[in-house]
Amino acid sequence: MAENIPRLLSIMAKLRDPNTGCPWDLKQTYASIVPYTLEEAYEVADAISREDFTELKDELGDLLFQVVFYAQIAKEEGRFEFDDCVAAICDKLERRHPHVFANKTLADSDAVLKNWEALKSTERKQVGQHSVLDNIPHAMPALSRANKLQKRCATVGFDWPTVEGCWLKVKEEIAEVEATSPASPELAEELGDLMFALVNVVRKHKLDPEAVLRAANNKFEQRFRAVEQAITAEKGSLEQATLDEMEASWQLVKQQLKPE
């Protein structure tokens, strides 16, 4: 391992060499790399969900390369280097784990999380961020950001005491959606409120809304592919089937794919 990090940094430097480097790599900026970084992060998540640990090794390498790429650009601009990134995370981890690296005693994982959030709050104030909601990236997926906003507010007590309160809010939002005309410009806002309220329910059950919806997407895809395969085998194509026939096939597939 000791020799591979310097090797990776050397490869990156050569790719960005103004005279002999790769034309594509030389064109890149912080902003242009962001889509690739997000894609690599999703590929890591996908490999984990499929428990493909051989692929996970490769995907983590791809994600690490993104970090090295940003650090190389920053080095060229005289801002910071890769080692500064490593030092920053080392300092942060030691600072936020006083129960491991200092003498603080924390009873359980809930106490650890509460202390972590308190330390983060102090750090935000030290850099001039005074709102509880500061430093929540706008570029996060909307479901994840909704969850993050709600969790931050919960740290200062702005939260439903129980999940029942969240469900009442969901029902209230459903009623508002149903009372809104489909042609109204307010419909999108009301639907957004409903989705935000549902995230609260998921959060209260200590689940991640992004992961929950990802699982639902995967389940839908698996079922629809099975419907597609069954109907195509019988009729030649989905277009030859009626909606009632597709629904009947869907219900059959649901039973066939139901967990034991």
Write a three-state SS string for the chain. Answer: CCCHHHHHHHHHHHHCCCCCCCHHHHHCCHHHHHHHHHHHHHHHHHHHHCCCHHHHHHHHHHHHHHHHHHHHHHHHCCCCCHHHHHHHHHHHHHHHCHHHHCCCCCCCHHHHHHHHHHHHHHHHHHCCCCCCCCCCCCCCCHHHHHHHHHHHHHCCCCCCCCHHHHHHHHHHHHHHHHCCCCCCCCHHHHHHHHHHHHHHHHHHCCCCHHHHHHHHHHHHHHHHHHHHHHHHHHHCCHHHCCHHHHHHHHHHHHHHCCCC
Nearest residue to 167 (alpha-carbon basis) of 194, 217, 143, 201: 201
Distance CA 148, CA 136 (A): 7
Distance CA 244, CA 231 (A): 12
Contact between residue 12 and residue 72 where contact means Cβ atoms under 8 Å apart: yes
Determine the pLDDT at residue 66. Answer: 97
Determine the pLDDT at residue 155. Answer: 85
Give the number of other CB atoms < 10 A from CB of residue 52.
13
Give the number of other CB atoms < 10 A from CB of residue 137.
8
Nearest residue to 195 (alpha-carbon basis) of 158, 145, 255, 234: 145
Determine the pLDDT at residue 109. Answer: 87
Give the number of other CB atoms < 10 A from CB of residue 245.
15
In tens, the pLDDT along 153-211 reads 998 899 999 999 999 999 999 999 999 999 999 999 999 999 999 999 999 999 999 98
Determine the pLDDT at residue 135. Answer: 81
pLDDT along the chain (260 residues), means of 10: 87 96 96 94 91 96 97 97 96 90 85 83 79 86 94 90 96 97 95 97 94 91 93 89 92 85
| Verdict on whether the full-model pTM lies above 0.85 | no
Distance CA 21, CA 69 (A): 13
* Burial class for 143, CB neighbours closer than 10 Å (0-12, 13-18, 19+): buried
Contact between residue 212 and residue 202 where contact means Cβ atoms under 8 Å apart: yes
Determine the pLDDT at residue 116. Answer: 82
Determine the pLDDT at residue 47. Answer: 93
